[in-house]
Amino acid sequence: MAADGGVQSVRRAIGLLGCFGGGDASLSLSDLSRRMDLSTSTTHRLARTLTAAGFLEQEDRTGRYRLGPSITELGQLSFHRRGLHRIAPELAELARITSATVDLAVRNDRHAVILSGGSLNPDSGVGLRRPLHSTALGKVLLAWDPEGSADLEALGPLRALTGRTIVDHAELRTELDRVREAGYALNDGESGDGVRTVAVPVLDRRNHARYALAVRSTPLVISDARISWFAAHARTCARALEVLLIPPAERRLRPSS
């Protein structure tokens, strides 16, 4: 029973930190309690424990909570150990060639989380997390996932963001088959009207997507006739990112010359 209680406490602590994953820089105790669906006293104990460990900090004037220095430290360690500090020139060059917004993302549960790119709002954090089912980034991460598409039902109900969003699991499975066959994913107004995105995988030796790379613009720029051109340039960049982001023993083998 004690072990079960410990697991519950850990899950609650993780959930509380996850409350800051949206666009809010700080949250009050009542905000956290409501989002966690916990009593104020329980939420306060969790917040106090996380503050003592540096994962949260409390503003002196307002009493509101924000992410603390321990989160910043771990984030910086992860960013550099993944090699993400080395990729800015590659993303910038792809953006220059295509005149499109370029983003790199990784899967986290039901979302594609953008790690680097032009879609992020650094002040608010808006744009950091994107649904898997309605984005080209997400489709790539699903199509080349180690588990394949067998876990699509685990995504839960697929919310419609526009009239073009795929909301049926069987239709999404068919779409992922098409993505794998084509070698790229297309988001044609499925997450926002007037937006078209082409995404490709950054693959490892097992042909699993470690990351997804996307170029985003409008249908006028990424026209039907130029989709393959954008996909080809994204693939070239993705191969460069494989060298920068994936350990040598886990990289895809290069064809012999």
DSSP letters, 43-55, are HHHHHHHHHHTTS
> In this predicted model, what pLDDT tens digit does every residue of 137-192 receive, in sequence order?
999 999 999 876 567 888 999 999 999 999 999 999 999 999 999 999 999 999 99
Q: What is the mean pLDDT of residues 91-116?
A: 93
> In this predicted model, what pLDDT tens digit does every residue of 228-246 receive, in sequence order?
999 999 999 999 999 999 9
Q: Give the pLDDT of residue 124.
A: 56
Residue 89 CB contacts under 8 Å (≥ 6 apart), including other chains? none
Instruction: Specify the higher pLDDT residue, 22 or 50.
Output: 50
For the chain, the first-to-last Cα distance in angstroms comes to: 61
Instruction: Specify the higher pLDDT residue, 3 or 155.
Output: 155
Distance CA 94, CA 98 (A): 6
CB 229 within 8 A of CB 254: no
Distance CA 130, CA 214 (A): 12
Distance CA 82, CA 156 (A): 30
- Residue 83, pLDDT > 90, answer no
| pLDDT band of 1, cuts 50, 70, 90 | very low
